[in-house]
A and B are shown apart, each in its own frame.
Chain A
Amino acid sequence: MRTFAKKVLLLVAMTAGTMMVSNAQVVYWNGLGRALVTGSYLGGNILKSDSSVNQKRDTSSARKSTDGYTIFDLGVNAQPNEVLRASAILRLKNSFGGFYGDGSQFIFRQLRLDGLIAKKVKYEIGDIDVGLTKYTLYNFNEIYNDYESEILAQRRSVVEYENFNFGNKWRLQGAHLESNLRFTKGIEKIGLRFFATRNRRYTPAVTPDRYMLGGKVEVFQSRNFQIGGNYVYLYDAAGTVSSPALTNKNNVLTGDFKASHFTDKVDYSVYGEVGNSNNKYTNLANDSLSRPNVHDYFYDLGASAKYKPLLLKVFANYRSVGADFFSSGAQTRRTLDYTSANLFSLVDNNTLSRTGTAMNGLTLMDYNTDQNARNLNLQNVLMAYNPAYNNITPYGQATANRKGVTFGASIGNEEKVIKADVVADLLSEIVSVGDTATKALRKFTGVKGGFMFNAHKLLRFEKSLVLTMGGRYESTQRSGSTPISLQSTLIDLGLTVEIVKQLDLIGGLKTISAKGNEYINSRNQYNEIIAINNFNLNQSQLMYSYGVRYRFSKNTYFTVNGITQQVKFQDTAYRNYKISQIFFNYTMVF
């Protein structure tokens, strides 16, 4: 009896600890805890002297680093009734090396109110995640990683969590309304969405606040036919700072549709999106410097067929995106490709940025592990990018000055023995960039794809055995007075083996090589190309990682990984370097 009483008491205490109910108000908690420690080492030719290029031995740049932190994100959710909820995520952070509160932080990571108005309109206010279509508002991935190994994907997830990269939405501040109007005949429903947000982080006295209004109206006639309209209006509010020199207004209006025909075995669809953009820069201090309104349009039309018994899908698209099409919400990059890295930021006796243009920017490891290399703000000019990683669509599917065909196929899904897909791009520019003499156009050829092989399902093992492999090849060619020839290849390999229950051996490899030349545009504050710069690439990178992981539950694990990044410059071998790192990570999600 006493044992039973103890159990009851314990149950009550646990329940009280996780949920409080009083006067119909429910308060519950969720969150994430993470302890992360890295130890890193820099080596390679870049630290050595080389008299042939007047490189002195590096005696002062950092070559060992230990870093890390412990965070506890406590989500507090108060739900007084069915139609209202207020939530906040409170963050407690203690950086590695902080003792007795020194270096500790207590911040609000997120504040949000959400609920239902009249049981019809769902609303969110505060820190919200919003997205529309790939041409209006879309936070596209920085690099092809569809078949990235689990060990590297897990590492990347830390960076994405810290930067609110949840899927392809942008984290913004504002309000979001959503509602569905249902009909009894004619059409099934009309979906309505509207959002109003503030984008740019406020920098006092200099940068005006950047606001974005937008929404979507979507008519679902049935599952056979849907049509929608999308609108995004992004503008700088001049009155929010004293004397802003420049403001920008960017309108993007698109329409999208999908028509489907279903049979027992095959589903057929045609779909597409068309729209245009208007972009205007106003120089408030000197109107003569203001730029006229620039507008352009795009269309992207496609068809697909899906053979349901095999989950086999084939598709083909044709798109044409005008050279002046500009959509801040869809073309802003989520990475700062040449920013100063957090890890070993300077080399060559603290005189050379390891990730500057002279060193070809961020490495694979920086993309995967550097949480400070991410851009959180929608930009009103096209950002610089590294053509080695993505030269065909550096600004996502909405990349301007592209036309051509994309086609591909996919089969299976993650629950099946195999999941695989392949996508090919055959694109070209619409107008020539810089080549006034011969007006030659770049031609792009790209192939990407991969597979996930769940071997344990084929072999009927209880324990997990998963192999992944992915790849991406790109070629850019141009003849004419300024020839271009650039090839890059990216390969992913991954293996996860559950050796005893919930204990995994995990390994992964990612490599990229790029060879050839390209010309990178420098743009001014009006998004105009003001200079075209040589960019020669003859570089290869190899990143591999291995380790063990113990899964306490689905979302709670401890992992110890070793990770090595090699960077080789074929023409300037004296700058080759290698970073080795050991990485401890305990993550708990509740």
Chain B
Amino acid sequence: MNIQIKGLLVVVLLFALFSCKRDLKEGSVMGPTNIAASSSFAITAPFTIPNNPAAPTLGAEFFATATFNETVSWKIVLTGLTSGATKMLQGTSSYLDPTNTAWYLNHDGLYFFEDGENVKVDLIITGKQGIYTSTTCTLFGVPSVAATSTFQLVNPYSDFESGVFGGGGAQWFQQINVGGTVVIKAQDDKIAAPQGKYYLHIEGVSKDPNGFFVGGLQQRAAADASHYFLPTSWTDPEKLYVNIYIRGMDQLPQGYKPYATLNFECHEDDNLNASTTSNCTYYANKPAGTGTDHFCPSSEDAWVYAVIIRHTGWQLFSCKYSDMIQSADISNGGSGNRKLEPQKICRVQLGLLSSPPFNLVEADVDFACFTYGAPLDPTKF
């Protein structure tokens, strides 16, 4: 290669080098402001929680106060001593007050704060080793989860906090007739519920002839075709999400196999009428006296979100309604109009399956809910 070609290559390299531009040039700063305390740092007005021990409503009533003798970067780390929930507030200032420490009882990690629990509140000052000072408070009046324009539980009992399967027309029907145990459990030292104090536990070996369905819960909407599960405005399957926490077993008891699948199913009333033994083949073939509802399994859609449980610990799973798949069983949800019609959801079912069949499987679930516009963002609660 002659000198001209070598020179040309060097020019190309240099051109490539100097044609690049940086957004963050020398002299820039990245990351949040961080100012360390000097050796003379002191708290001139004590670190306190004025509303201690109360955070009465979901508002900005919870805040900390303190005054420092200089501007520093600080962090306040709140840790629920029962739930294990955490929340970090941070800023840079010479004081703490409602303008910079308001806390809306939301959380950062997996676990939600619980009503009535004690919370450790640590103040960390940049440049000072460890926790600078600490206090505690008790959370009173943490509100129950309420429906909003973009969120609702599957039914008022789908966070399992009442400890019962429902009532007043919002009853979860336990599907325990095929081999499973379906119980609501209170959290203990070994398993903490991600939200609240209770969660649902399903386990067993399927007694279905095909060996798949182990057990679960089902809720049927009230007989009101104008308003089933969801607000009538939630019509876009691209915006609707189903969300659920599922706990995979990290240390399965001997004999249990990690072949569990949790199905979150939404059943639609495609024709907007009640199913009867005369208009629905499925019910016509059932023994006399079988309860019917709006959903006809043999001619209407069942949309399924199947979570294959291969993880350990609690994890949030979300699925867009348009990504759910139609039931593969043509006699049970696989023969509908194949249209995604969220406003026609008249039945919701949580079911644990064993695949391959006849395995002893188990799963814990909590906080089954719908969101509209985005998947569940648990840090907002």
State the A residues within 8 Å of B (CB): 186-187, 203-206, 221-222, 225, 227, 242-243, 245, 255, 257, 259, 272, 274, 276, 285-286, 294-297, 299, 322-324, 401, 430-437, 439, 481-483, 517, 519, 521, 529-534, 536, 571
Contact = CB atoms under 8 A, between A and B. Distances in A.
A408 B362 CA distance: 59
B288 interface: no
A519 B310 CA distance: 36
B169 interface: no
B36 A483 contact: yes
Interface in B238-266: 241
Given A205-B317, A274-B17, A530 B22 contact: no
A186 B1 CA distance: 6
Nearest to B322: A243
A50 B24 CA distance: 49
Contacts of A274: 13, 16-17
A433 B129 contact: no
22 contacts: A187-B1, A204-B308, A205-B305, A205-B308, A225-B6, A243-B318, A245-B318, A245-B375, A255-B16, A274-B16, A322-B24, A323-B28, A430-B26, A431-B30, A434-B29, A482-B73, A517-B129, A532-B34, A534-B126, A534-B127, A534-B130, A571-B129
Given A242-B305, A482-B36, A532-B34, A299 B17 contact: yes
B26 A531 contact: no
Given A285-B375, A324-B23, A437 B35 contact: yes
Given A206-B315, A286-B374, A521 B13 contact: no
Contact of B307 (A205, A296, A433): A205
Contact of B27 (A245, A431, A521): A431
Given A274-B16, A285-B374, A434-B31, A294 B23 contact: yes
Given A206-B315, A434-B29, A482-B126, 8 more contacts: A259-B6, A322-B24, A323-B22, A324-B23, A483-B127, A521-B31, A529-B30, A534-B129
Interface residues of B, number: 49
Contacts of B305: 205, 242
A498 B75 CA distance: 57
Nearest to A297: B20
Contacts of B1: 186-187, 221-222, 225
A530 B35 CA distance: 15
A257 B323 contact: no
Given A431-B24, A431-B25, A433-B30, A531 B88 contact: yes
Contacts of B124: 534
B33 interface: yes
B33 A436 contact: yes
A533 B126 CA distance: 8
B12 to A, nearest CB: 8
Given A274-B17, A322-B24, A536-B129, A529 B31 contact: yes
A57 B318 CA distance: 44
Interface string B285-310: 00000000000000000000111101
A439 B23 contact: no
Contacts of B75: 531, 533
A432 B29 contact: yes
B9 A519 contact: no
B303 to A, nearest CB: 11
Nearest to B12: A255
B323 A242 contact: yes
Contact of B30 (A243, A255, A432, A517): A432
B107 interface: no
Contacts of A204: 307-308, 310
Contact of B32 (A206, A227, A272, A529): A529
Contacts, number: 144
Interface string B29-46: 111111110000000000
A431 B13 contact: no
B17 A322 contact: no
Interface in B122-178: 124, 126-130
A184 to B, nearest CB: 15
Interface string B174-206: 000000000000000000000000000000000
Contact of A530 (B25, B32, B324): B32
B32 A531 contact: yes
Contacts of B318: 243, 245
B307 A295 contact: no
B9 A532 contact: no
A482 B324 CA distance: 51
Contacts of A434: 29-34, 73
B64 interface: no
Contacts of A437: 33, 35
A219 to B, nearest CB: 9
Contact of B13 (A206, A257, A533): A257
A289 B13 CA distance: 37
A531 B30 contact: no
B374 A203 contact: no
Contacts of B13: 255, 257, 272, 274
B320 A242 contact: yes
A208 to B, nearest CB: 12
Contacts of A203: 310-311
Contact of B29 (A221, A257, A259, A433): A433
Nearest to A225: B1
B90 interface: yes
B36 to A, nearest CB: 4
Given A242-B324, A286-B373, A534-B127, A432 B310 contact: no
B126 A531 contact: no
B207 to A, nearest CB: 26
Interface string B263-276: 00000000000000
B319 interface: yes
**7 tightest A-B CB contacts, nearest first:** A434-B34, A529-B31, A297-B20, A242-B323, A243-B320, A204-B308, A482-B36
B20 A276 contact: yes
A532 B319 contact: no
A437 B127 CA distance: 15
A413 to B, nearest CB: 31
Contacts of A517: 127, 129
B23 A295 contact: yes
A358 to B, nearest CB: 10
Nearest to B22: A322
Nearest to B124: A534
Contacts of A257: 9, 13
B243 to A, nearest CB: 10
Of A276, A297, A324, A534, most B-chain CB atoms within 10 Å: A534
Contacts of A222: 1
A310 to B, nearest CB: 30
Q: Which of A205, A433, A530 has the most CB of B within 10 A?
A: A205
Contacts of B308: 204-205
A295 to B, nearest CB: 7
A299 B1 CA distance: 25
Nearest to B88: A531
B90 A531 contact: yes
A571 B308 CA distance: 47
